[in-house]
Amino acid sequence: MSASAIATTRHDWSLAEVKALFQQPFNDLLFQAQTMHRAHFDPNRVQVSTLLSIKTGACPEDCKYCPQSGHYNTGLEKQKLMEVQKVLEEAARAKAIGSTRFCMGAAWKHPSAKDMPYVLEMVKGVKAMGLETCMTLGKLDQEQTQALAQAGLDYYNHNLDTSPEFYGSIITTRTYSERLQTLAYVRDAGMKICSGGILGMGESLDDRAGLLIQLANLPEHPESVPINMLVKVAGTPLADEEDVDPFDFIRMLAVARILMPKSHVRLSAGREQMNEQMQALAFMAGANSIFYGEKLLTTANPQADKDMQLFARLGIQPEAREEHADEVHQAAIEQALVEQRSSELFYDAASA
- Binding site, annotated residues for [4Fe-4S] cluster: 59, 63, 66
- Which of the following is catalytic: 93, 101, 134, 251? 134
The pLDDT value given to residue 349: 36
Q: What are phi and psi of 53, to 5 degrees?
A: -80, 110
Q: How many residues are there in the chain?
A: 352
- Which of the following is catalytic: 66, 174, 179, 271? 66
pLDDT at 322 over 50: no
Is residue 63 part of the annotated active site? The answer reads yes
Q: Is 67 helix (H, G, I), strand (E, B) or coil?
A: coil
The pLDDT value given to residue 203: 96
pLDDT in tens, 161-195: 999 999 999 888 889 999 999 999 999 999 999 99
- How far is residue 50's CA from residue 221's CA, in Å, rounded to a whole number? 22
Is residue 341 part of the annotated active site? The answer reads no
Higher-pLDDT residue of 301 and 306 is 306
Tell me, rounded to whole angstroms, the distance of Cα 213 from its chain centroid: 18
pLDDT in tens, 77-134: 556 678 888 889 888 888 887 788 888 888 777 788 888 998 999 999 999 988 989 9
- How far is residue 135's CA from residue 211's CA, in Å, rounded to a whole number? 21
> Could you tell me the end-to-end alpha-carbon distance of the chain, in angstroms, rounded to an integer?
31
pLDDT at 207 over 90: yes
Q: Return the closest-CA partner of residue 298 out of 251, 234, 208, 227.
A: 234
pLDDT at 13 over 80: yes
pLDDT in tens, 30-40: 999 999 999 99
- Which of the following is catalytic: 194, 208, 251, 257? 194
